[in-house]
Amino acid sequence: MFFRQFYLQGLGHASYLIGSEETGEALVFDPRRDVDGYFDAARMQGLRIRYVLDSHGHNDYLSGLTEIAQRTEAQVWGSAEADLGYDHRPLRDGEQVELGEVGIEVLHTPGHAPEHLSLLVYDRDASADEPALLLSGGALLVGDLARPDLLVGRDEAEEAARTFCATIQKQILQLPDWVEVFPTHVAGSLCGASIGARLSTTVGYERRTNEILARVSSQGEFVEECLRVDNLPAVPPYWSRMRRQNLAGVAPLGVLREPPALRPDEVRAAVAGGAVVLDTRSPEAYGGGHIPGSLNAGLGASFATWAGTITPPGTPVILVLDSAADLWTATWDLLRIGYDLPAGWMAGGMTAWRTAALELVPLPQVTVHELKSRLDSQEVDLLDVRQPDEWASGHVHRATFLTGAELPGRMDEVPDNGRPVAVMCGSGYRSSASASLISRERDLPVLNVTGGMAAWKAAGYPTTTT
């Protein structure tokens, strides 16, 4: 049996290729939208991708399922419990599929999503009857369970959590301790509150160490722990668009054109025509001078999440890059979360803009020492855009709390008291993204706190939990 995990750090996403060395058939589980890697790996092993499946309608990225189906004659599988808009073979709980020496047992594991499927995989060459691994999707995670609250309100989420409790008791914990567990939502995903750093685990290890599983004997405690609002991260606004598209069937990308290199005057004309500039440089570089009205999400592990938080959907995007070599890294990050190809990128970067004598504006950066002084003299208001658990663990007295994920829909709650607004996160990355959005949407003087809460605590300044 051939098995390979594909890890995408920026989305906290793992997908899988399983193949039979006996028949040459392969299955892709929970594929991301850029599917070349699966075909490359299959080709190197002499495998043919014959089947593809999504564990559930994902909220956090666009699936590559239809992309794979378009490129090959792969049979698309789908949950019999789902209302899917594409042709598929429906799979039901307990159904078994044999790919040569690879045995696959379908488990209906609702909780994170009502249609959710996990796959129990057998390596018949090693043991005909004992399972080897579980592709758990969004059921059992490393040190956590996937959240049950993404699709519904509080009352329905409580019912989903009760369903999840039954899934864990009747499906997951009935498996032998040695079964390896490979989730789809891994470190970096917002689909769990405290996902561990490792990319796999075992049923036995989770049985012994997973704090939520320890409460599974009491349904009331389990439901309460699953739905702790202070423990669940806020999710970016683009998530509301992903599941609908995934269930309907994502439009295949086909052959992608090259985003054009644009001169500064062309960028200025595009902005005048309604395009938005997404500046992918670091917060420090952006703060030193940027195109008026541009948004900032530094290219790196958090880029997709924050670009998807602050960039309005359906608007042409122009990229500002540190290097032309970064173009397709940024482009794929946007495509994976449902944005169109960028309308272009600025050739020569900000050097070209500056040497064209075009307007630059700064995002002033303040140290925590300056912030402390200005707060004491009531010269500035402070907006904290961290996650709820970060806020609960300690924050600056009299700060306003509004997660960056919620900021686009709650812009009117940004303090407006005739003073500058300093924006703080954990280190300065999220606050720069949030500050860039506030600067674009509100007529307010905005500052970015360099070093964020980490620097504030390192300086020994006080925090409160009330």
CA distance readout (Å), 29 to 299, 302, 430: 27, 24, 32
Count Cβ neighbours within 10 Å for each residue of 291-321 and write b for 16 or more, e otherwise. Answer: beebbbbbbeebbbbbbbbbbeeeeebbbbb
- Phi, psi of 257, deg, nearest 5: -80, 160
Asked whether the CA dihedral 250, 254, 255, 260 is positive or negative, the reply is negative
Amino acid (one-letter) located at 187: A
Give the torsion through C-alpha atoms of 149, 154, 157, 158, to 10 deg.
140
- Alpha-carbon torsion, ordered 450, 454, 459, 465, to 10 deg: 120
- Tell me the C-alpha distance between 16 and 9, whole Å: 15
Amino acid letter at 323?
Answer: S
In this structure, the strands spanning 25-29 and 13-19 are: antiparallel
> Which one from 165, 191, 226, 425 is the annotated catalytic residue?
425
Measured CA to CA, the distance from residue 170 to residue 167 in angstroms comes to: 5
Whether 61 contacts 243, CB under 8 Å: no
Angle of helix 303-310 relative to helix 429-441, nearest 10 degrees, comes to 20
Give the whole-angstrom CA distance, residue 298 versus residue 253. 25
DSSP conformational letter for 53: E
425 in active site: yes
d(CA 433, CA 423): 10
Which residues belong to the active site? 425
